[in-house]
Structure 1
Amino acid sequence: MPESELPEDVCEEATRLTRLARDAVDPDERETYRSARDDLVGEYDFVARVRDEDAVLVLHPAEWVDADGTVTPAEIDNIDRGVEQPLSGTGEEHEWDAVEEHNARLVAVVAEEHGADHAANARSFADFLGNHYVRRIETAGAPEVREFVEEYYPRNAWPTAEQRSILSESLTLLFDAADAEVPEYN
């Protein structure tokens, strides 16, 4: 196991669940995502918290926390055991290139399986999300999708009438290609 003691896929899933919780409108849905995240990292005796001032998910060993939930500096034996995951962007080096490559693969799946009009819509969303937020498709939350649909798409995508009429379906197909659900943005 890496020094952090948390497998990379666990860190990624905890980050995804935290983003979903932040974007959820329904308090019960928000709590469900947080609970799932806490259970996931709890299996490794880790705890999660969000540092709001810089939008970072912090994952660290439970032994660092005392009974009232405060991190006790004396308990920190090796700071490398903790993990910080940015909640905006991807946290990867060369972020934009990695995000663009990932999102372009998803757009290609939509193009191959569903045709040019859906692909054009998918490409517009990938451009918006990559250029404005440096985020992978599956990490987009309701605020980003809403901004795309209401502001970016009408002004910047230059869609045909056909493309406009199928936008919602195109987004569903793109998120399906990413094995994710479109956040409720309406």
Structure 2
Amino acid sequence: MSDLPREVVTTAERLTRLARRAVDEQEAAAYERDRDERLAEYGFTARIRESDDTLVLHPSSWLEDGTVQMDRIEDTDRAVEVSLSGSGDPESWDTVEEHNAAVVDRVEERAGEIHAENARVFADFMGNHYARQMETATAEELEEFLREYYPRNAWPSDEQQAVVTQSLEYVFDVTETAMPEVTAVRR
């Protein structure tokens, strides 16, 4: 079993994807540096396995001069692999979308159309960027949504912007899931 918490793996994947989408090399390098520093706190490092476009996170102790030393690998389960080509399974994405659409409907029933519109934007973010159910979002993913995705992609009205955090609270409420604490609250 890997020594990396799920949230660290998710963050490493997010930073790797941001580095790939970066417009210039300095921005990409900054994302990769951030990822590498976070992984180093746990004694891990990252590499991309090009043959199948997979992010591989493994203990730094497995390396010597940047090359994995096979005799140092005591337990392969300590490594984590994340496909960077999406889930690879269209049915998986369809299942996630179906679930998230049902959550949006429940938000609309409970809180009204404006909150449902915000929930729909969040459903698109979680489904398209992470291929996951909305209520599995980490604090960092919520902050990414509020800081980056929402202002650039939602084209929200002033009324929507004013209640977006409350809309997210409704998402977690209707799924009976505790909402992670968010420090970058959008007002």
| TM superposition score normalised by structure 1 | 0.58
Contact 1:108 1:119 in 2 (8 A): no
Contact 1:107 1:119 in 2 (8 A): no
Alignment of 1:19-34 (within 5 A): 19-34=17-32
Matched with 2:75 is 78
Matched with 2:47 is 49
Matched with 1:135 is 131
Contact 2:107 2:115 in 1 (8 A): no
CA distance in 2, matches of 1:75, 1:135: 34
Matched with 1:168 is 155
Tell me: CA distance 1:121–1:81, structure 2 relative to 1, closer, same or farther (3 Å).
closer
CA RMSD of aligned residues (A): 4.3
Which consecutive unaligned segments of at least 5 residues does structure 2 have? 135-140, 142-148, 172-181, 183-187
Tell me: CA distance 1:121–1:59, structure 2 relative to 1, closer, same or farther (3 Å).
closer
More off after superposition, 114-123 vs 97-106: 114-123
Query: How much does 1:35 deviate?
Result: 0.8
Alignment of 1:99-110 (within 5 A): 100-102=98-100, 105=103
The Cα offsets for residues 59-118 of structure 1, whole Å up to 9 and x where unpaired, read as 001111112x111111111111111011232589x7332454347646876995763995
CA distance in 2, matches of 1:80, 1:72: 16
Which consecutive unaligned segments of at least 5 residues does structure 1 have? 139-144, 150-166, 180-186
CA distance in 1, matches of 2:7, 2:51: 25
Alignment of 1:105-116 (within 5 A): 105=103, 112=111, 115=114
CA distance in 2, matches of 1:17, 1:107: 31
Tell me: CA distance 1:10–1:103, structure 2 relative to 1, closer, same or farther (3 Å).
farther
Q: Does 1:95 align with 2:92?
A: yes
Q: Percent identity?
A: 38
CA distance in 2, matches of 1:19, 1:169: 25
Matched with 1:152 is none
Query: 3-state SS of the aligned residue for 2:57?
Result: strand
CA distance in 2, matches of 1:41, 1:70: 17
CA distance in 2, matches of 1:90, 1:104: 21
Contact 2:13 2:55 in 1 (8 A): yes
- How many pairs align? 147
